[in-house]
Chain A
Amino acid sequence: MIRCPVCGVENLPNTLFCEECGEPLLWGNRDKFTVRLVSLTEGWEVKLLVENEAIIGRVDPISGFKPHLDLSDKGGLEKGISRKHLRLFCQGNKLYAEDLGSSNGSFINNRRLLPFVPEPITSGDELRLGGEILKIFLEE
């Protein structure tokens, strides 16, 4: 059983909302991650706050789309980064990565992600987006 943090009632495991008070039980207590991304190709380093979700890609001046992390001034176009390339998001106290149908693909530790199939990330994983290789660290 899982105990609701608000009303204390016991719910079946995997219950999405508490039967007694409607409190969401799915996400655990962590909906934010700060990640540190280190470029192994260029040497730059950025911190990125993932609050619910963060998209890595390139600014699109035509549609006005702006990703949370814009790689256009970091050689994104040359490295084959799509405008909407990768989505990082939190659920159940975990961080996930999802390839958003990018042209040149995303890889975790040299394994290609299937488009739109999220996979969990652990600190120290190597992410490859097109020709850019990033090391990802989860900060406490």
Chain B
Amino acid sequence: MEENFRPDYYQILEVSPFASTEEIEKAYRRLVKGYHPDVYRAFKTAFLFRQLQEAYEVLRDPERRKIYDDWLRARGLYPERAFWADVLPSHRALPSLNEPQAWYILFTLHAERDHAIPPRPLNLCLVIDTSTSMKGPKLESAIKASELILRSLKEEDLFAIVSFNDRAAVILPSSRWQDCKKALGLLRRMKAEGGTEMSHGIFAGLSELSKAGNLKDYINHMILLTDGNTYGDEEECIRLAKEAKARGISMTVAGLGATWNEELLEAIAQANGGMNIYIPGPRELPKTFQEIVETLTRSVSSFHGKIETMEGVKLKGLFRLDPQVGRIAVDGGTFFLGPLNGSIRLLAELVVPPLTVGEYFAIKWEFGDIKGEFLARGEISLAILEGPGEQLVPHEVVTAAERVAIFKLREKAWEDINQGKTAKASGRLLLLARHLEKMGEKELALLARKEAIMLPEMGNLSPEGRKRLYYGTRLLALKPPEEG
């Protein structure tokens, strides 16, 4: 092949060099859907579009692909990629209007552990509520879960355990795995007594995690377990969760049982960029903790992101869809995503101001890990066209937006309940039930309907129904949409 320059077709198609022909076809279909016929005819996007066609033609054909791969290898250009991002806007073109309009971008981040990349050690801290209400099976199962985690750790991992009630106690100071073994006996010393002051626990946990020295070399994570409400130190908890984010420490905030305040736990998780999960009872606890640790072990690294808007475009909201739907706190365009493995989807909701006809660079995006080893970035252009635009929105974006719409509807219902507007909240729950029914979520729909009917009379939701609705509606996104 006598060519001096060939573009990186894998990059253009946003696929891994190990992608199968089916994955390449899928990627092409996804990308090509975003191109509006009027845009590729009229603007410089036409060049990108032709490149996309070319990349597809070469990579779909095993023979041509092999020639291309050999050409890359001969020049040392064959990409070894463990982290990449693909981008799908709702529209590549919008009509020129004299009012603002909505725009959506779906980011999918892929972080894949390759054999070439050594696993990053864990720097883990368990922060366990030992207030009086934890007495009995709850504390027992927490101890059992800690033991299981201890046994599953590897040599380079660091582990610490902190308990808290009115104050915090370091049960196991941050130690290497060998020393942790001695700790098994120490766990039994935990006694359930006193109140719940969560911020003391988070503070002590942060101190233990920070002992690791260079945090960038680890997957840093705190698992906070509570079964009750904290009193008077909510603001401090949120501040500490932000502090953790700044140090590259992600959090899983786990509520056990049904008597705690999911909104506070959500606020803590959101301030951190971490997860907020519900554990119905002590029996489910050990398995859930093990799953969290397994997921962490598989993680490539801890990631953060940045979305910069230009031309007066505004970022209205950012949501993650995997592993559960949640709002992402954005601070000056930057945000923390925590440890990643596999794929996660993020949906950005944007507002585009009135613009004149033309093609604009509207968004700059960047995702990378705390160590600076992995980086993916790019720009997204938006064409503004004369006259009414075609509204052909890729169905992946529609599905993502639907999940987010359900999340927001649930959020609004909770707001109404807090303000005592039970009739309004009840109406929202009925709407929620209708959406859930349409999605085939029969059980959850039935629950929403039942709670909606009881709400005006009871003035509140049942404690269990509240948890099941809150967390059930966030897990709808677990299954990525099937390609049609």
**Residues of chain A at the chain B interface (Cβ within 8 Å):** 1, 11-22, 24, 26, 53, 91-92, 94, 96, 101, 114-120
Contacts and interface: CB of A to CB of B under 8 A. Distances in A.
The 5 A-B residue pairs with the shortest CB-CB distance in the complex, in nearest-first order: A17-B405, A92-B391, A22-B405, A16-B401, A13-B101
Contacts of A96: 392
Interface string B27-58: 01100110101000000000000000100000
Given A13-B102, A16-B90, A26-B398, A91 B37 contact: no
Contact-size category for B: 35 or more
Contact of B37 (A12, A17, A18, A117): A117
A14 B33 CA distance: 17
Given A1-B99, A53-B484, A14 B32 contact: no
B408 A91 contact: no
A16 B45 CA distance: 25
A101 B97 CA distance: 35
A120 B390 contact: yes
A127 B11 CA distance: 35
Nearest to B100: A12
Nearest to B389: A14
Contacts of A24: 402
A12 B390 CA distance: 16
Interface string B108-142: 00000000000000000000000000000000000
B404 to A, nearest CB: 8
A17 B402 contact: yes
A118 B391 contact: no
Contacts of A94: 390-391
A91 B53 contact: no
Given A13-B97, A26-B393, A116 B32 contact: yes
Contact of B409 (A11, A22, A26, A53): A22
B25 interface: yes
B274 to A, nearest CB: 26
Nearest to A113: B37
A68 to B, nearest CB: 13
B53 A16 contact: no
A19 B349 CA distance: 12
B320 interface: no
Contacts of A116: 28-29, 32-33
Contacts of B404: 17
A11 B390 CA distance: 18
Given A114-B53, A116-B28, A14 B392 contact: no
B48 to A, nearest CB: 14
B391 A26 contact: yes
